[in-house]
């Protein structure tokens, strides 16, 4: 039976805490994952089993063993597609980070669908008897650093770290026009566009708060290159926010003018990855595609 094993040194506690609370609050393990660990005594402290209510402190070592039966979906339903090789930016036992090319969907939406980045990752990982798990997505026309899970254990932890903005992503975009201010924050709420179900709109239907910071890196007579940081994760947030201040992303087919079917120039450039269980930070850079060079 397939197993995933972790040996985690306890550190940075201000006071002793129960094992159960440590797993939940510090390691961010979901409650339904903790239950089988407790029931089958697959949590050891300093190589011994003690009850989940026992206290642990800095210097102790927790040993966790997960098995396939712990998960309702131990393998996601992805068809391996080896028609396109992937550009690996980082890989360890739990995580794969790839440089997603523009023009490819992150994941399939229909049964039997292939030719997405997750399908390519599945083929790559199948060679190691592993599987790909979706963590987050990039729009089809957006390129850059994309996190892929390699087992079901880390999926909810990575999703939580992204949601809580512990894992941070920095984007680079080429936009139309020159900025009056070299840096700023856009905080317009984003909702559904009542006229086009594909699109989002400032103050649209059921708007949600949204916050984007921008920094102008360089500018020409007609275009600017900007660095972007998301504080929230709304659909199409960067594209909608930039278009709302009259600086749509070059090549954006929905929120700008794309008369020549040009590639949209939005790229996930930097990823500050925080690893589950160990919570160390790894900084990953995804080089800009060649299409950006003509604007530098």
Beta bridge partners of 171: 228, 268
SS3 213: strand
Establish how many alpha carbons lie within 13 A of residue 185's alpha carbon, considering only the half-sphere containing its beta carbon.
Answer: 8
- Measuring CA to CA, which residue among 232, 239, 234, 236 is closest to residue 175? 239
Q: Provide DSSP, 50-100.
A: --TTSEE-TT-EEEEEEEGGG-S-SS-------SS---EEEE-SSEEEEEE
139 is catalytic: yes
Catalytic residue among 70, 81, 94, 139: 139
Q: Please, are residues 276 and 158 in contact by the beta-carbon 8 Å criterion?
A: yes
Pairing mode, if any, of strands 266-274 and 143-149?
A: parallel
Instruction: Please give the positions annotated as active site.
Output: 139
């Amino acid at each position: 039976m397939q197993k995933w094993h972790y040996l985690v040194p306890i550190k940075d506690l201000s006071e002793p805490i129960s094992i159960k609370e440590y797993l939940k609050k510090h390691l961010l393990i979901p409650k339904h994952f903790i239950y089988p660990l407790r029931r089958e005594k697959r949590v050891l402290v300093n190589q011994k089993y003690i009850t989940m209510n026992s206290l642990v402190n800095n210097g102790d070592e927790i040993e966790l063993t997960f098995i396939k039966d712990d998960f309702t979906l131990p393998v996601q339903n992805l068809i391996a597609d080896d028609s396109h090789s992937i550009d690996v930016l980082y890989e360890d036992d739990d995580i794969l980070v790839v440089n997603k090319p523009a023009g490819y969907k992150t994941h399939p939406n229909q049964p039997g669908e292939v030719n997405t980045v997750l399908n390519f990752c599945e083929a790559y990982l199948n060679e190691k008897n592993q599987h790909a798990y979706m963590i987050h997505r990039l729009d089809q026309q957006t390129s850059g650093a994309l996190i892929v899970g390699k087992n079901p254990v880390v999926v909810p932890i990575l999703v939580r770290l992204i949601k809580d903005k512990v894992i941070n992503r920095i984007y680079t975009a080429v936009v139309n026009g020159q900025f009056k201010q070299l840096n700023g924050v856009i905080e317009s709420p984003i909702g559904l566009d009542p006229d086009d179900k594909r699109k989002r709109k400032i103050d649209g239907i059921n708007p949600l708060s949204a916050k984007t910071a921008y920094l102008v890196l360089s500018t020409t007579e007609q275009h600017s290159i900007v660095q972007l940081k998301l504080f929230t994760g709304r659909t199409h947030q960067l594209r909608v926010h930039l278009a709302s201040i009259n600086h749509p992303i070059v090549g954006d087919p929905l929120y700008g003018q794309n008369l020549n079917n040009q590639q949209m120039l939005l790229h996930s450039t930097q990823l500050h990855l925080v690893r589950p269980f160990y919570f160390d930070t790894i900084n990953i850079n995804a080089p800009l595609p060649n299409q950006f060079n003509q604007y530098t």
